[in-house]
Amino acid sequence: MTRLQPVILGIWFAIIALVATTAANAAPTRLVADLSQSHVDITSGYHGTELLLFGAYEGIPGDELVLIVEGPTNDIIQRRKEKRAGVWVNVETLLWKQAPSFYHLFSTAELSEIADAQSRLKADIGPLAGGLQLVTGVDGGGNVHGDSTPKAAVKPAMAKLGTADQNAGLKRNMTSNGLWQTNPASIITQQDMLFRTMLTLPSNVPTGDYSVRILHFRDGVALSERVTDMNIRKAGMSALIYSFAHDYPVFYGLFAIAFAVASGWLAAVAFRRG
């Protein structure tokens, strides 16, 4: 029994060391993230802007980062066209319920290299990760993509999950508008401590409250997550016009008509004098 004691003690020390190492690797690490500008004002002269996203983390070689900038959710209209009698017409309307109006994703590598599909779904990575629901209907409306439309524009129906083709169509439309983007290998890291990337906001960026999520991955597992806020709002004369048009639509319509008539009359007078 005496000879076995050193062996047993060695086994116990090995088990304790293994558990300690596993716990250390699985424990959340410190993660800090921030933006160069957390409030963005959209004025009449706004044509897009760039923001610096940066921060620090406790990493080791092989760690990966995923950064997600997500805008407010709203209902998005998507219409499908068909050629009938030589004319392209809208034959089906899809109303996506509470879809992200803006979703830009950045990462240090391809998402498939960072984590498998199951882990990415668990970490809620991707604009369709939550399984967007839609309402289908048929109407003869105009060609609108990525706009919020009243529910009355679509015939009542039960909400359901979108198919793979419908999800792909939504993603294609939102990407073409610059509202959904995936940017692999776009986060620059230094000495497994610092990171940075550039966020480009297009001219058609939606207003509202945004969330900026940064996730720290190791061996396909999300160790830490940090969330910070960003706000985009209209400002200046464009904000006053926007508020007036939405708060007093009748008066805004009358004013627009009066302004158009006055402009036409002044132009006619100027041409007569010429």
**Residue 156 φ/ψ, nearest 5 degrees:** -55, 135
Look at residue 157 in the predicted model and tell me its pLDDT. 60
Q: CB–CB of 217/28 below 8 Å?
A: no
Please check whether residue 255 lies inside any domain of the structure. no
Please check whether residue 12 lies inside any domain of the structure. no
What average pLDDT does the segment 90-118 reach?
A: 93
pLDDT tens-digit series, residues 256-267: 787 788 778 777
From the CA atom positions of the chain, what is the Rg in Å?
27
Please check whether residue 16 lies inside any domain of the structure. no
Q: CB–CB of 209/101 below 8 Å?
A: no
Look at residue 171 in the predicted model and tell me its pLDDT. 93
Q: How many residues are given for the chain?
A: 274
Look at residue 151 in the predicted model and tell me its pLDDT. 43
Please check whether residue 244 lies inside any domain of the structure. yes
pLDDT tens-digit series, residues 130-188: 888 888 764 544 333 444 444 444 445 677 888 888 899 899 999 999 999 999 999 99
Residue 94's domain spans which residues? 29-248
Separation between Cα atoms, residue 208 and residue 11, nearest integer Å = 58
Separation between Cα atoms, residue 220 and residue 188, nearest integer Å = 19
Closest CA to 55 of 72, 32, 76, 35: 32
- For the chain, the domain total comes to 1
Look at residue 43 in the predicted model and tell me its pLDDT. 84
> Out of 8-17, 60-69, 237-246, which region has the weakest mean confidence (pLDDT)?
8-17
Helix axes of 237-247 and 249-273: crossing angle, nearest 10 degrees: 120
Please check whether residue 11 lies inside any domain of the structure. no
If pLDDT is split at 50, 70 and 90, which confidence band does 125 have?
very high
A 10 A CB-CB count for 233 gives 12
pLDDT tens-digit series, residues 53-73: 999 999 999 999 999 999 999
What average pLDDT does the segment 28-38 reach?
A: 85
Please check whether residue 262 lies inside any domain of the structure. no
Please check whether residue 7 lies inside any domain of the structure. no
Please check whether residue 202 lies inside any domain of the structure. yes
